[in-house]
């Protein structure tokens, strides 16, 4: 009978230790955190001097064919998959332009990427200056072109404008 009590006591001690160790492991697993680093890839500034003059009410579309600096405007080299984000201060142009769109098109991609060259991957506008990001799905270098379309409002004099675009990447 003493052996049975001793055995039962040892069994309860082992069982209590197992529960404590398991609880500590579950607690430790539940409190682990994952961090994500966001890196600014580029900050670009488009000035009206680069895009040329536009008259009141006129709509103008500018591409890399007419302004070379819009071609290969952004180049990103990814070591793995990334999420790319474009943000701008286009909302500040609402007083001078009824339309101001900057379209981001893929110009070249690395082997293994499923993205399609010449497709639009982001559009920044007065109403949406910070569009949703998108995934770069393979390691390698991606190059993007910009196309700018704007319609000038009526103004009392020449109004120089500047749009700043920030490109950032985060691990996916």
Strand 82-88 with 97-108, pairing: unpaired
Mean pLDDT, residues 123-148 taken together: 94
Residues 29 and 43 both lie in one domain: no
Using alpha carbons, select from 74, 72, 80 the residue that is nearest to residue 40.
74
pLDDT band at 102 (very low <50, low <70, confident <90, very high): very high
Residues 94 and 152 both lie in one domain: yes
Amino acid 9: pLDDT: 56
Q: Are 160 and 51 in contact (CB under 8 A)?
A: no
Residues 28 and 42 both lie in one domain: no
Q: Are 106 and 144 in contact (CB under 8 A)?
A: yes
Amino acid 43: pLDDT: 59
Residues 79 and 28 both lie in one domain: no
Q: Are 152 and 56 in contact (CB under 8 A)?
A: yes
How far is residue 21's CA from residue 27's CA, in Å, rounded to a whole number?
10
Mean confidence (pLDDT) of the chain: 79
Residues 5 and 57 both lie in one domain: no
Residues 122 and 149 both lie in one domain: yes
Residues 24 and 52 both lie in one domain: no
pLDDT digits (tens, 9 = 90+) for 46-57: 666 667 778 888
Q: Are 40 and 164 in contact (CB under 8 A)?
A: no
Q: Which residue segment(s) compose the domain that 104 sits in?
A: 38-171
Mean pLDDT, residues 109-130 taken together: 96
- How many domains are there within the chain? 2
Which of these ranges, 1-5, 12-16, 20-24, has the smallest mean pLDDT?
20-24
pLDDT digits (tens, 9 = 90+) for 56-67: 888 888 888 988
Using alpha carbons, select from 57, 139, 147, 66 the residue that is nearest to residue 107.
147
Residues 98 and 162 both lie in one domain: yes
Which of these ranges, 30-34, 69-73, 124-128, has the smallest mean pLDDT?
30-34
Triad 165, 72, 152: Cα angle to 5°: 50
Place of tokens 């990103």: 76
pLDDT band at 121 (very low <50, low <70, confident <90, very high): very high
Q: What are phi and psi of 99, to 5 degrees?
A: -135, 135
Residues 29 and 65 both lie in one domain: no
Amino acid 159: pLDDT: 73
Residues 132 and 157 both lie in one domain: yes
Q: What percent of the chain has pLDDT over 90?
A: 35
Residues 19 and 60 both lie in one domain: no
Using alpha carbons, select from 161, 69, 92, 83 the residue that is nearest to residue 122.
83
How far is residue 50's CA from residue 12's CA, in Å, rounded to a whole number?
80
Query: Is the pLDDT confidence value at 74 over 60?
Result: yes
Residues 9 and 66 both lie in one domain: no
């Amino acid at each position: 009978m003493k052996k049975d009590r001793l055995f039962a006591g040892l069994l309860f001690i082992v069982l209590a230790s197992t529960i404590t160790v398991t609880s500590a492991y579950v607690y430790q697993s539940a409190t682990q955190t994952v961090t994500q680093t966001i890196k600014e890839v580029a900050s670009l500034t488009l000035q009206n001097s680069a895009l040329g003059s536009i008259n009141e009410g006129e709509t103008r579309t500018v591409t890399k064919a007419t302004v070379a600096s819009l071609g290969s405007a952004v180049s990103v080299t990814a070591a793995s998959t990334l999420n790319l984000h474009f943000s701008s201060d286009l909302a500040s142009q609402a007083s001078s332009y009824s339309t101001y769109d900057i379209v981001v098109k893929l110009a070249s991609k690395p082997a293994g990427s499923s993205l399609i060259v010449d497709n639009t991957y982001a559009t920044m506008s007065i109403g949406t200056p910070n569009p949703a990001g998108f995934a770069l799905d393979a390691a390698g270098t991606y190059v993007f072109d910009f196309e700018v379309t704007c319609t000038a409002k009526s103004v009392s004099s020449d109004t120089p404008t500047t749009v700043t675009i920030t490109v950032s990447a985060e691990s996916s």
